[in-house]
A and B are shown apart, each in its own frame.
Chain A
Amino acid sequence: MLKTEELQINIGPQHPSTHGVFRMIVTVDGETITDLKPVFGYLHRNHEQIAEQNTYLQNMPYTDRLDYFNSMANNQAYAMAVEQLVGIEVPERAEYLRVMMVELTRILNHAGALGFLINDMGMWQTQLAFGMREREKILDLFESASGARLMCNYFRFGGVVRDLPPDFIPRLKELLQAMPAFVDELERLLRENEILMQRAEGIGILPRDLALAYSVSGPVLRGSGIPYDVRKAQPYSVYDRFDFDVPVGTVGDVYDRFLVRIEEMRQSRRILEQVLEQLPDAQGGHINPKARQNVRPPVGDVYARIESPKGELGFYLVSDGSGKPYRYKVRAPSFINLTPLGDMCRGYKVADVVVILGSIDIVMGEVDR
């Protein structure tokens, strides 16, 4: 038996498959990983402290910069927290508009995430271009509604900033009509793909009990077989009116997380169709006209959470009665989802690390805050 020696190698901080400035100190024995330590904070700007210097409304566009893929979802969680703190009512129509935007965000995020994941496997650009093409269509819709493609800043306390432009609904219907073909195509392209199966099946397994102990959320938790979705577990907004399923995986490997995301895109489409059905009958306007934007909440604290595309996104706010939050805490899903990365990678090969990391779907703007 040949004597081997453990070797420490550094992946990142500058590395094309780490989705930002992210570093992993990997200890390997030959090609096999024995330990992995994530190192981050390169993008840290103390988001929470800056937010404590701002007024409540000034933070709304700032939340866009957390998870810059899903600015609409960040807006919703923050708006919900402030509304609960102040006691602002949201009109029915505004709730439907919010759900519509966040479900579109979910499709957009998963299309991008799957594209990047497969790009990380070395299958070059085809699937990424597929995902990005679909993402562009949704971004165009966002632009027509909010004026911006990425940093939408669309939500306000008590509703959304403006109603939909007249051509929005027809364009959305067109998009939804073309969507099943896109999702099926993406799935067909990948499901029986030899490269993907080889690199995803049985890789990065996170067993059910460990997933819960590690507090992961979103598609990572559901990929491990726990049907926990905040939209079902603690329904907020108008999610209790929709009929949708929570897809779960069985093994908890990269492939399961991949399938969960594909299925979630279909479920989001189902929700969007129900939104379109119910939206014309919804009461109220796009915003509560009595809602003040320069809020001064009473002394107290609140925690509001939503199911963002990456997992449970929560905001904890403490008010001291002034116009600025006394404490503003973000429970960032991709930050917590990184906790089990070491355990998920142990025993696999070095080349699997980028795939496992890609399957968690992190965004450094949110991890580092």
Chain B
Amino acid sequence: MPRLDAAELRERMARDLPGAVLEVVPLQVAAAPPHGPQPGAFMTSDTLVAPSRLVEAACYLRDLLGYAYLSDIAVVDYLADDLFELVYRFYHVEGGEGLTLKVRIPRDHPEVPSLTPAWPGANFHEREAFDLYGIVFVGHPFLRRIYMWDEFEGFPMRKDFPKQGDKYIGADE
């Protein structure tokens, strides 16, 4: 079984893909709650990659390190830090721990290159991220809403999406 941890991956990528790995800046996670303990800073141990180098880094994982199984793409909306974080998870087909790449993009310009042309399995993950968070994947062949209907306005999983009041209910009355 291949054994490669996040620190080793960062080292290798810094050597082979200079400039692709970014320094991790701790996140505030959320604004301070009205009562209870203050949320601490969130310092991730995963590899943070520059958005423009994402496809290159992912292909490096697949073609050189053999992590060919793209398991998951998750988006997290860090409203207090004004950014979206995309979490890409790769596994080796022979087993073992996976490797995680994280990409941070600004909330007002959520664009990231698409993995779908190189990795057809990213298709539905990316469409889901587009549908619920409004992340634009540049180069995706069919970037359309997947759960919500096409005419729906807004991105419901964003933290600032209104939780109450629905303009689609009772609009005809």
Contacts and interface: CB of A to CB of B under 8 A. Distances in A.
A208 to B, nearest CB: 10
A327 to B, nearest CB: 5
B37 interface: yes
Contacts of B44: 301
A326 B147 contact: no
Given A212-B68, A321-B39, A322-B36, A41 B147 contact: yes
A215 interface: yes
Contacts of B69: 212, 215, 228
Interface in B74-101: 74, 76-77, 87, 89, 91, 93-98, 100
B97 A234 contact: yes
22 contacts: A41-B146, A46-B156, A48-B132, A49-B156, A49-B157, A212-B69, A213-B119, A215-B119, A217-B71, A233-B94, A233-B95, A234-B97, A234-B98, A300-B42, A303-B72, A303-B87, A303-B89, A316-B74, A320-B42, A327-B77, A336-B125, A339-B123
Contact of A234 (B39, B76, B96): B96
B30 to A, nearest CB: 4
B167 to A, nearest CB: 16
Contacts of B37: 321
Contacts of A216: 121
Contacts, number: 113
Contacts of B36: 322
A168 interface: no
A40 B91 CA distance: 28
Given A299-B40, A303-B72, A339 B87 contact: no
Nearest to A300: B42
A322 B58 CA distance: 33
A45 B92 CA distance: 33
A341 B69 CA distance: 18
Contacts of A40: 146-147
A44 B145 CA distance: 12
Q: Ordered nearest first, which 10 A-B pairs have the shortest CB separation?
A: A215-B121, A233-B95, A41-B147, A44-B147, A320-B29, A320-B30, A329-B74, A331-B72, A321-B39, A214-B121
B4 interface: no
Nearest to A369: B147
A292 B122 CA distance: 37
A226 B68 CA distance: 12
A41 B148 CA distance: 6
A301 B72 CA distance: 14
Contacts of A48: 132, 157
A215 B70 contact: yes
Interface residues of B, number: 45
Contact of B121 (A232, A298, A314, A336): A336
A226 B156 CA distance: 37
Contacts of B38: 321
Given A234-B98, A299-B39, 7 more contacts: A49-B156, A212-B68, A228-B69, A233-B95, A234-B91, A316-B74, A321-B37
B71 A335 contact: no
B124 interface: yes
B168 to A, nearest CB: 13
A268 to B, nearest CB: 20
Contacts of A321: 29, 37-40
* Residue of A212, A214, A216, A327 contacting most chain B CB atoms (<10 Å): A327
Q: Which one of A232, A326, A368 has the greatest number of beta carbons of chain B within 10 Å?
A: A326
A40 B68 CA distance: 27
A20 interface: no
A44 B40 CA distance: 33
B65 interface: no
Interface string A299-328: 111010100000010101010111000110
Interface in B42-68: 42, 44, 68
Interface in A211-232: 212-217, 226, 228, 232
Contacts of B97: 234
A116 to B, nearest CB: 23
Interface in A83-141: none
A228 B30 CA distance: 38
A57 interface: no
Nearest to A343: B120
A217 B95 CA distance: 13
Contact of A299 (B29, B98, B100, B122): B29
Contacts of B94: 233
Contacts of A212: 68-69, 93
A213 B68 CA distance: 7
Contact of B124 (A53, A226, A314, A335): A335
